[in-house]
């Protein structure tokens, strides 16, 4: 038995009891610095910009809440908008946890969308509905994965910085997708350059009696599956080891080049699935020069969630609400719809400042 007079430093239970509140306070400080703080600061900074252009920020944010969360139709649109964003979250979680900066998701997204939009309408009269959708998703995943081969090879075997190569391939992918729509996959029966349109009844089924695409369910499954894979499986541990210390991973007998290639393939494949979910679930076709740029928008959300699956889902919900609500608020108040990008930019700036402040604190504590 431990004597009551035993000093706390020699009593493991007492030491643990004292350390727990300190650890909790430290975690809360990091949460405020790295997650909650940047979000609040971004909204405040955006509010200042709105004031400078003569718009009441409370009115603007109020319209966003009213349209996206307190309206039945708006809530359904918010849930539907989440689907492609969730697939992109899965894509980025795989890459970032493995130490890979895949910034080419926009190009991978669009090529997956174009392939799904081009193939699915042609298969409607040949295959059953479920087979059409499955084929569209599989081909979109392959298209996204193939577009990452060049950055993957350069990173795995030549050590070339993937930030540069994935961004370059993203620009090329966006242009290639538009070119394919205009020249190869163009619907001959329309004057507007676009792919053939998948009939509404052949798209992903709706949930219950709502307009919510069932792509939402598959997006949730993708994020949770990726989170479990990266945190609970041996394969995920190997990918994280490669990202944390490639030299140590190689010394431990892991094939760093092959695992790097696998990371690129998985990440880009999920980006392709994101494009397919948007087309097969909602849009039905792809028009030339269409680029929602979801990939770059999702990056700050994944960082704010600290690469955590459940946290990413929560942030995607609020961001989808912001996208849907800002469209209505912009029309009512005469604010450009691109103001949402200003908010995203503010979030990135505040996120960077939060990372810097946390780094300085950690350095001082050492």
Could you tell me the domains of the chain? 82-332 (1.10.3470)
The pLDDT of residue 280: 96
Q: How many whole angstroms from its chain centre is CA 57?
A: 27
Phi, psi of 320 (to 5 degrees): -60, -40
Radius of gyration in angstroms for the set of CA atoms belonging to the chain, rounded to a whole number: 23
Confidence (pLDDT) at 22: 55
The interaxial angle of helices 294-304 and 309-333, nearest 10 deg, is 130
Q: List the one residue out of 352, 350, 348, 224 whose CA is nearest residue 297.
A: 348
**pLDDT in the model for residue 277:** 96
Long-range contacts (CB closer than 8 Å, 24 or more residues apart) made by 204-210: 204/133, 204/277, 204/280, 204/281, 210/76
Determine which helix (DSSP H) or strand (DSSP E) holds 50, and give its type and residue range.
helix 37-52
The pLDDT tens digits along the chain (366 residues) read: 445 544 545 566 666 555 556 556 666 777 777 778 888 888 999 999 999 988 899 999 898 888 888 888 889 999 999 999 999 999 999 999 999 999 999 999 999 999 999 999 999 999 999 999 999 999 999 999 999 999 999 999 999 999 999 999 999 999 999 999 999 999 999 888 999 999 999 999 999 888 999 999 999 999 999 999 999 999 999 999 998 888 889 988 999 999 999 999 999 999 999 999 999 999 999 999 999 989 988 998 898 888 999 999 999 998 899 888 888 888 888 888 778 888 878 888 888 888 888 888 877 876
Q: What is the pLDDT of residue 344?
A: 79
pLDDT at res. 16 = 56
User: How far apart (Å, rounded) are the C-alpha atoms in residues 205 and 129?
Assistant: 10
As a whole number of angstroms, the distance between CA 62 and CA 40 comes to 16
C-alpha atoms less than 13 angstroms from C-alpha of 248 in its C-beta half-sphere: 8
Provide the β-strand partners of residue 341.
none
**Which SS3 state, helix, strand or coil, does residue 287 take?**
strand
pTM for the whole structure: 0.88
Q: For the chain, what is the largest distance between any 2 Cα atoms, rounded to a whole number of angstroms?
A: 89
What pLDDT score was predicted for residue 234? Answer: 95
């Amino acid at each position: 038995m431990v004597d009551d007079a035993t000093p706390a430093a020699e009593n493991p239970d007492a030491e643990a009891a004292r350390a727990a509140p300190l650890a909790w306070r430290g975690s809360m400080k990091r949460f405020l610095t790295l997650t909650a703080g940047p979000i609040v600061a971004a909204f405040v900074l955006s509010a200042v910009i709105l004031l400078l252009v003569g718009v009441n920020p409370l009115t603007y944010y109020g319209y966003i809440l009213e349209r996206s969360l307190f309206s039945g139709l708006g809530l359904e649109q918010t849930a539907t908008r989440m689907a492609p964003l969730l697939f992109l979250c899965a894509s980025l979680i795989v890459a970032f946890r493995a130490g890979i900066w895949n910034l080419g998701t926009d190009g991978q997204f669009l090529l997956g969308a174009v392939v799904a939009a081009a193939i699915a309408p042609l298969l409607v009269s040949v295959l059953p509905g479920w087979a059409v959708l499955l084929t569209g998703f599989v081909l979109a995943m392959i298209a996204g994965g193939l577009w990452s081969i060049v950055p993957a090879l350069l990173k795995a075997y030549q050590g070339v910085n993937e930030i540069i190569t994935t961004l370059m391939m993203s620009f090329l992918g966006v242009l290639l997708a538009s070119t394919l729509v205009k020249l190869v996959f163009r619907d001959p029966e329309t004057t507007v350059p676009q792919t053939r349109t998948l009939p509404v009844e052949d798209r992903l089924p709706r949930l219950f009696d709502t307009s919510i695409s069932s792509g939402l369910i598959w997006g949730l499954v993708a994020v949770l599956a990726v989170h479990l894979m990266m945190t609970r499986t041996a394969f995920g541990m190997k990918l994280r080891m490669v990202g944390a210390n490639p030299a140590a991973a190689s010394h431990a007998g892991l094939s760093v080049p092959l695992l790097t290639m696998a990371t690129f393939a998985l990440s880009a494949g999920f980006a392709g699935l994101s494009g397919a979910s948007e087309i097969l679930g909602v849009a039905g076709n792809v028009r030339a020069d269409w680029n929602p740029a979801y990939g770059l928008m999702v990056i700050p959300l994944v960082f704010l969630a600290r690469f955590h699956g459940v946290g990413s889902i929560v942030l995607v919900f609020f961001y989808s609400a912001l996208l849907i609500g800002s469209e209505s608020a912009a029309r009512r108040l005469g604010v450009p719809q691109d103001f949402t990008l200003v908010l995203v930019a503010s979030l990135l700036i505040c996120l960077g400042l939060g990372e810097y402040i946390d780094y300085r604190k950690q350095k001082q504590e050492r």
